[in-house]
A and B are shown apart, each in its own frame.
Chain A
């Protein structure tokens, strides 16, 4: 067994580490710390953040890939041979679901297939009947199992919460517990705990039952929809955050230099983004994706497994999205820099002979931070939705990759069936909806707190 990280895995982990570092740096500045404290004073923001953390948790679980060695057929061979496919931690957790593929569609919690099949029984009579599902036990006490799952979920979440209260109370556990229960803490921890309990219990319930049922049904080729939806989280979140990561430096560097230096620098950058933003986005992305497709077909040596191939395609898609989506933020930052560079504290710094770079670092970027943060959080939900739209149109991620867009794309035919197969679309929709809603609610709050114009 060895660790086999994909390109996107590496980027995700770099991002998480830099986020943590940023959090640590921020926690040392009392002003910024206070601002974020204010952000999370709203219970909606707190609940949204917990939900986003859950999504991030699944993304990270799905971003550690392993390759198992094949069974050594000849013990003499010196080199360890590895299996063709890579497996993530999430795959390991849901290994039972991957193996238990059915023949075709089945509804959530169903014991039989969704459509009748023609069978020839022993007596030679041809009949049409609903076949039982292979991996679902037919006589099962669903209530008992649910009860067990819920109790387990409560215990897990209770354990997490007790740990957190212990860490927060620093010795005075009893008071802290009482305060949290009565909602008297400065931050709405009660909301946070309730959200955690709800999420953990729901997940344990789904997970326990997924051993005995297809909780969200199966798709056309019998794959488990719950597993697909969970795998799609990584694709959605990745496109949301990695695109921003690529777009951000471009937008900040170009926007600030255009605003501060003016003259021909400003002209060049303005012409660049005006040109770029006047080309229809979808057209540009489609062209980019096609070029990349051809390139990948010509260079099969770039990847060893199909997973690597689809990952590379995802990475290219992220880059293309990043390259096409920096113009909006750049324009905003240019205007704001133009404004700030005329303010007197910048003139004062110039009178002190402070270098341009220091002026940018110390006086301009900190005063742009609220715009950057707000647009990052807003762009995130936009990009998650963009992935779904692009995959639906056919220029998105690799068709073999699990993504909400691909699920919706498949659902196009399923919705036309009679009776309708609704659960694929429904699952993709619910998972995506919760993520985007949480991101939007949080960004609303962030915008309200960080935008200085909202302070009266």
Chain B
């Protein structure tokens, strides 16, 4: 088979620091080549280098990139512009920011065709419609005149793919195309990409951090770390016989681990939620009249025993985060009760709530926004202790306690004097956990605590959470959209859809023998790793 793209000994430097160290690979016609790595490993830089869209400060120190035996680095910029879009097309992670919000999606596809193919107006429109049909966008004639904000995330990604396909490229670079999407939509997009590959004999450079997606999509795989390709192999061989130790650990982290859990725990229920309803009023007009309600949470009941974990699974917009906020009394509860140790929290005033604030804490999704950038780590952890009057009262012994907490979450004691921006995502998440632990809570609401983290960091954080549970018998309400981590952490699983719990049961029951159609669909959509030893 002929190779479409060959990258040879590509090295990139910024000032004197090496970003890529002699990266080489080839992509053959009709092949899906997956570039896997954690954030900062240089996979996106590689794709930018192929498009010659590197930022000015980064320069190519050696190597060459050939597209069908033409060296891309030798071309003048005017030639390169013709190649971009026509021979190599690209789709991005964020379909929301990649589309121009003031142009209809049809016009945006038409623009690309006009620039590169120079067709007549009618022919262009016909072509756009047929492209929309190809990417399975419903009612293509009608959608032509829609604006990006009228489309859902998955539909926008389909439009992006239509733009990429418009000029029949030889190579499609897909940079984390499904990371921002829900599982079911991710499955549809992946299926679409495979179908297009088969129809057009297209080559795809697929950049991702998700091993399971790779297993499902790729023909060949390359693993990157610190700007180097560590291992390159056919997909099957890769998953069956990983060579490099880093690859092995990456695969192990991605698999998660099912551990035997003691069943039949004690009956004392820590948290009981009964028929919880949270409606947000829709206000309109000059006098802000309430014209209707968004039913974010619509009659949800569950309970969490002491020292156990309930995983609340659902796609974005299913109301799972709102439940967390309702338990924290941060949103107004429309109806139903939230009972903590048999006390109805909804009835309490802010002052009466204070002792319960200590017992229920929260860990957030985005480690970058969860910590105030203007406070030192020590002050961040201290805040809750002072506000809720937990732990020692004088500053010196508080400092001592903060040190203990930092050590407990595997950080160093001297970190207390630093500021959040000096830490990586995983470290910040640990700080967030230490902050929650500072007030000795009995229930921690983990709102997608691992979804912003790399695979290996994710498994470390999960391990930490489990260790803490064993030590102090804290309960977790674990809110997530990622089914692959559920077996690792959860005792019970509740699946949510449109504000309602559709299925609820023990982890094994739900994961292995799902009853509800939606749960089945979710489990089917989630990309799976092949069962290796």
- Chain B positions 370 through 401: 1 when the CB is less than 8 Å from some CB of chain A, otherwise 0: 11111100001001100110000000000000
Given A343-B369, A344-B369, A366 contacting B374 (CB threshold 8 A): yes
In-complex Cβ contact of A345 among B360, B365, B370 (8 A): B370
Docked complex: A347-373 residues within 8 A CB-CB of B: 347-355, 358, 362-363, 366-367, 369
Shortest Cβ gap from B32 to chain A (Å): 33
Instruction: Tell me whether A351 and B383 are in contact in the complex, defined as CB-CB below 8 angstroms, given that A345-B372, A367-B372, A367-B373 are known contacts.
Output: no
A452 lies within 8 A of chain B by Cβ: yes
* Cross-chain contact of A351 among B357, B375, B380 (Cβ < 8 A): B357
A31, CB-defined interface residue at 8 Å: yes
Q: In the bound complex, what is the Cα–Cα distance between A225 and B230 (angstroms)?
A: 77
| Contact call B357/A353, Cβ cutoff below 8 A | yes
Establish whether residues A347 and B357, one from each chain, have CB atoms under 8 Å apart when the complex forms: no
Q: Smallest distance from the beta carbon of B441 to chain A beta carbons, Å? A: 10
Task: Give A270 Cβ to nearest chain B Cβ, in Å.
Answer: 12
Decide: A352 near B383, CB < 8 A? Known: A31-B419, A344-B366, A347-B362.
yes
Confirm or deny: B457 has a beta carbon within 8 angstroms of a beta carbon on chain A: no
User: Contacts A345-B371, A362-B375, A367-B373 hold; do A352 and B366 have CB atoms under 8 A apart?
Assistant: no
- The secondary structure that dominates the A interface is helix
Chain B nearest CB from A279 CB (Å) reads 22
- Find the A residue at minimum CB distance from B438: A352
Chain B residues near A366: list those with CB within 8 A: 372, 374-375
Q: Tell whether, in the assembled complex, residue A353 and residue B361 are in contact, meaning their CB atoms are under 8 Å apart.
A: no
Contact assessment for B364 and A354 in the assembled complex, using a CB-CB cutoff below 8 Å: no
With A and B bound together, what is the CA distance between A24 and B369 in angstroms?
A: 30
* Contacts A362-B383, A366-B374, A367-B374 given; does A351 touch B369 at CB 8 Å: no
A453 CB → nearest B CB, Å: 12
Query: Which residues of the partner chain B approach A452 to less than 8 Å between Cβ atoms?
Result: 373
CB distance from A264 to the nearest CB of B (A): 9
Among candidates B353, B354, B358, B362, residue contacting A348 with C-beta atoms closer than 8 Å = B362
Number of A-B contacts (CB under 8 A): 61
Q: Output the least CB separation between A356 and chain B (Å).
A: 10
Min distance, Cβ B17 to any Cβ of chain A, angstroms:
15
In this assembly, does B512 line the interface, its C-beta being within 8 Å of a C-beta of chain A?
no
Residue picked from B357, B370, B372, B435, most chain A C-beta under 10 Å: B372
Cα–Cα, bound, A344→B374 (Å): 14
Distance in angstroms from B479 CB to nearest chain A CB is: 13
Q: How far, in whole Å, are A88 and B366 apart by their CA atoms in the complex?
A: 59
CA distance A347 to B362 in the complex (A): 9
Would you call B364 and A347 a contact (CB within 8 A)?
Answer: yes
Are B383 and A354 within 8 A (Cβ)?
Answer: yes
| Interface check B330, CB cutoff 8 A | yes
- B362 (CB) vs chain A CBs: closest residue: A351
The one of A31, A345, A347, A358 that contacts B330, using a Cβ cutoff of 8 Å? A347
Tell me the nearest residue of chain B to A346, going by C-beta. Answer: B372
Judged by a CB distance under 8 angstroms, whether B350 is at the interface is yes
Q: Does B300 contact A (CB under 8 A)?
A: no
Tell me whether A351 and B371 are in contact in the complex, defined as CB-CB below 8 angstroms, given that A31-B419, A362-B383 are known contacts: no
The CA of A353 and the CA of B432, in the complex, are separated in Å by 16
CB pair A353–B374 under 8 Å, yes or no, is no
Complex CA–CA separation, A367 to B420 (angstroms): 14
- Chain B, residues 84-121, CB within 8 Å of chain A (1/0): the string is 00000000000000000000000000000000000000
Q: Which residues of B contact A348 (CB under 8 A)?
A: 362, 364, 370, 432, 435
A337 CB to closest chain B CB (Å) equals: 14
Q: Is B328 an interface residue (CB 8 A)?
A: yes
Q: Does B439 contact A (CB under 8 A)?
A: yes
B159 → chain A closest CB, angstroms: 29
Closest to A31 in B: B419
Task: Check if A352 sits within 8 Å of B357, measured CB to CB.
Answer: yes
A347 to chain B, nearest CB (A): 7
Residues of the A chain whose Cβ atoms lie less than 8 Å from the Cβ of B360 = 351
CB of B225, distance to nearest CB on chain A (Å) = 23
Please provide the chain B residues from 293 to 352 with a CB less than 8 Å away from any CB of chain A in the complex: 325, 328, 330, 350
- Which residues of chain B (162-185) have a CB below 8 Å from chain A? none
Q: Are A353 and B388 in contact (CB under 8 A)?
A: yes
Q: A345-B369, A348-B370, A367-B372 are in contact. Are A354 and B419 (CB under 8 A)?
A: no
B366 touching A349 by the CB < 8 A rule?
Answer: no
B364 with A344: CB separation less than 8 A = yes
Q: Is the CB of A351 within 8 A of B328?
A: yes
Contacts of B353 in A (CB 8 A): 353
Contacts of A351 in B (CB 8 A): 328, 330, 357, 360-362
Q: When the two chains form their complex, are residues A352 and B374 in contact, meaning their CB atoms are under 8 A apart?
A: no
In whole angstroms, how far apart are the Cα atoms of A362 and B383 in the complex?
10
How many angstroms from the CA of A362 to the CA of B435 in the assembled complex? 16
Which residues of chain A are within 8 angstroms of B364 by Cβ–Cβ distance?
344, 347-348
Q: How far is the CB of B514 from chain A (nearest CB, A)?
A: 32
Query: Which residue from B370, B380, B388, B419 sits with its C-beta under 8 Å from A344?
Result: B370
Residues of A near B432 (CB, < 8 A) are 348
| CB pair B366 A353 closer than 8 Å | no
Given contacts A343-B369, A347-B330, A347-B362, are A31 and B384 in contact (CB under 8 A)?
no
Tell whether, in the assembled complex, residue A352 and residue B384 are in contact, meaning their CB atoms are under 8 Å apart.
Answer: yes
> Which of A352, A358, A363 is close to B388, meaning CB atoms less than 8 Å apart?
A352
Bound-state CA distance A358–B373 (Å) is: 16
Q: Which residues of B contact A31 (CB under 8 A)?
A: 374, 419
CA of A358 to CA of B384, assembled, Å: 12
In the complex, the chain A residue whose C-beta lies closest to that of B376 is: A31
CB distance from A20 to the nearest CB of B (A): 22
Complex partner residue of A350 from B330, B354, B372, B439, CB under 8 angstroms:
B330
Whole-angstrom distance between the Cβ of B133 and the nearest chain A Cβ: 40
Which residues from chain A contact B366 at a C-beta distance below 8 Å?
344
CB distance from A340 to the nearest CB of B (A): 9
Q: Are B387 and A354 in contact (CB under 8 A)?
A: yes
Interface residues of B in 133-177 (CB under 8 A from A): none
C-alpha gap A339/B462 in the complex (Å): 30
Residue of A nearest to B435 (CB): A348
Q: In whole Å, how far is A318's beta carbon from the nearest beta carbon of chain B?
A: 32
> With A and B bound together, what is the CA distance between A343 and B364 in angstroms?
10
Contact of B387 among A344, A352, A363, A367 (CB under 8 A): A352
A266: shortest Cβ distance to chain B, in Å? 11
A183 to B374, CA, bound (A): 33
- Complex CA–CA separation, A350 to B324 (angstroms): 13
Which of B353, B357, B369, B388 has its CB near the most chain A CB atoms (within 10 A)? B369
Of residues 13 through 67 on chain A, the ones whose CB sits less than 8 Å from some CB of chain B are 31
**A363 and B350 alpha carbons, distance in the complex (Å):** 20
Distance between Cα atoms of A358 and B387 in the complex (Å): 10
B-side contacts of A363, CB under 8 Å: 372
Taken together as a complex, chains A and B put the C-alpha atoms of A363 and B372 apart, in Å, by 7
Residues of A within 8 A of B325 (CB): 347
Give the distance in Å from the alpha carbon of A369 to the alpha carbon of B374 in the complex. Answer: 10
B432 CB to nearest chain A CB (Å): 8
State how many angstroms separate the Cβ of A389 from the closest Cβ of chain B. Answer: 38
A-B contacts, 28 of them at CB < 8 A, read A31-B419, A343-B369, A344-B364, A344-B365, A344-B369, A344-B370, A348-B370, A348-B435, A349-B383, A349-B387, A350-B330, A351-B328, A351-B357, A351-B361, A352-B387, A352-B439, A353-B354, A353-B357, A353-B388, A354-B383, A354-B387, A355-B387, A358-B387, A362-B375, A366-B374, A367-B373, A367-B374, A452-B373
**In the complex, the 8 A-B pairs of residues with the closest C-beta atoms, listed nearest first:** A366-B374, A352-B384, A353-B357, A344-B364, A344-B370, A345-B372, A343-B369, A354-B387
Chain A: residues with CB nearer than 8 A to chain B? 31, 343-345, 347-355, 358, 362-363, 366-367, 369, 452
Binding site for A on B (CB under 8 A): 325, 328, 330, 350, 353-354, 357-358, 360-362, 364-366, 369-375, 380, 383-384, 387-388, 419, 432, 435, 439
Further pairs besides A349-B383, A362-B383: 6, Cβ < 8 Å: A351-B330, A352-B357, A353-B387, A354-B383, A367-B373, A367-B374
